[in-house]
Amino acid sequence: MTTTQINDNTAVLRDVFPAGSVAFVSGASRGIGAACATALAAAGCNLAITYRRKENEAAQIAESIEAIGRQCITMQMDVTDENQVTRAFRIIRQHYGRLDAAVLNSGITSDGHLATMSRSKWSSVIDTNLTGTFLCTREATKAMYSSGGSIVMVASTSGVAGRPGQANYAASKGGIVAMMKTLAPEVAAKNVRVNAVAPGFIQTDMVAAVPKAALAQAIQHIPMGRLGLAQEVASAVTFLASPLAAYITGKTLTIDGGMING
């Protein structure tokens, strides 16, 4: 096992998965999902990645993965559509015949104060973040029953500690944490591990949409004094998904520069 430095802050794990391992990443066309896909490829996995709208970006991620000698299939998938989710996992079984790791990353925000939040605004976030994670988790678990594997759910510090103006988002991400804690003991005997990461403020398109004044105020509450990088989340996800974390299940790892205690 080696690590390769990719910038001043992060290092990528190399070849920590057995040869021929397969990883699935949802929402992998950009941001944290794209970083996770490329990090898992560097760690030894062939990939199956999904996107909802950004086909060109997903294709570029696939090309970068194939450039280092791994295989990668891309699939358009709406995580809220049960038929599309089951179809995607069927394609993975047909193409690779196995699934060793699954990173469930797809998510959206639609912020607003609870007292004035519409039902549609609530439902869209819950459907994508929580129900979408449920559907992908269910299919990934089935795929891993016979040979084991690792599932990593992408939650958020909002789901651990809450955040004003994010009632729907915090509820969806808190639900992910609760679902992970419930599933982990259910599947441990099948050698399936289930964990979650809870990123804080990370340099992604989602955080770029936060008003500058609000973001500056948030950074004041981060002891490390900066935003995180998608690659830093990906390094933690890769560790949890890999055999290096073989005795870790049912845990939530916050990745937030020390912003919250938990």
In the block, tokens 């990939």 appear at: 47
Among the listed residues 50, 47, 56, 57, the one whose alpha carbon sits nearest the alpha carbon of residue 76: 50
Tell me the C-alpha distance between 18 and 35, whole Å.
20
**DSSP labels, 179-196:** HHHHHHHHHGGGTEEEEE
**One of 51, 96, 145, 169 is an active-site residue; which one?**
169
Separation in Å, CA 158 to CA 34, 85, 174, 175, 204:
22, 26, 8, 11, 16
- Contacts for 66 with CB less than 8 Å, ≥ 6 apart: 72
**DSSP labels, 138-202:** HHHHHHHTTT-EEEEEE--HHHHH--TTBHHHHHHHHHHHHHHHHHHHHHGGGTEEEEEEEE-SB
Q: Could you count the other beta carbons within 10 Å of the beta carbon of residue 48? A: 27
- Verify whether residue 169 is a known catalytic residue: yes
Q: Let me know: does 145 contact 188? Beta carbons within 8 Å.
A: no
DSSP 128: I
Among the listed residues 3, 2, 9, 4, the one whose alpha carbon sits nearest the alpha carbon of residue 230: 9
Active site residues: 169
